[in-house]
Amino acid sequence: MKNNSLLKRVSALGFPLFGAEGDQNVNLTLADMVKSRDLRLWEGFPVVLANTVEKEYFNYEKVKWHLKKPFDKLYLVSLMVMSLAVYKFFNLKFSWADKYYKSLPNDKKKEFSSFLAKLRSDSNLNVAGREMSADRLKTVFSNYFAQSQAKLSELLSVKDELSLEYSLSQVFSPKQKELFLKKLRREKLTKTENEYFSRVVKKKVLALANPELHHLAQALLK
């Protein structure tokens, strides 16, 4: 790998091939990952994409803007579709992923189904003309996803953690969810974060903790 600068930027976005710190131009980094055609970076694309969307940095149109060549734009779509298949394989639900899938043309939806079948059968995927190992994709994603959730995993089982991730996303915005989990982990909040937590997030937490509301919600689901 010759482009050490790209590796460092990717590392800061949740795929630490090498250590790095500092603010990053997220959408440019994703575009550079696409253009690199480097299989190690492509294997990490689902990790980086999930992390950047979760932090509300990702802008699909901006990533495309950085891709000047038509075939690079096609690579981006294939990597996005491959990422959706990885998330589906691990039963991870993201509202943005559902919206993106619905926007895909039929041939790309078929590609998604093909990728998912390959992941389930441990067969190689053909992603934008490159052969990618299903086993490598799954291992890379599960390893880095587990690392990024390590502290929370100390409190919850893997099954409960994934269920919590989905449920929190239904109630809190990404930023609110981040503060909720920080409080749960007893991590220090900035003054601004503390004020926002008290003003907005805490009200939702109090509502969720209300036993009568919980009882009514359970009744509705019967």
pLDDT of residue 217: 67
For residue 196, the tally of other CB atoms under 10 A from its CB is 16
pLDDT of residue 13: 47
**If phi over 0 gives left and psi between -120 and 50 gives alpha, with beta otherwise, what is residue 30?**
alpha
Summarised one tens digit per residue, pLDDT across range 43-72 is: 989 988 888 887 777 889 999 999 999 999
Summarised one tens digit per residue, pLDDT across range 142-156 is: 877 666 555 444 444
How far CA 126 is from CA of 111, 115, 129, 132, 214, in Å, comes to 10, 8, 6, 6, 47
Q: Which two tokens stand for residue 175?
A: 């930023």
pTM of the predicted model as reported, rounded to 2 decimal places = 0.60
Ranges of the chain whose pLDDT falls below 70: 1-24, 145-166, 214, 217-218, 221-222
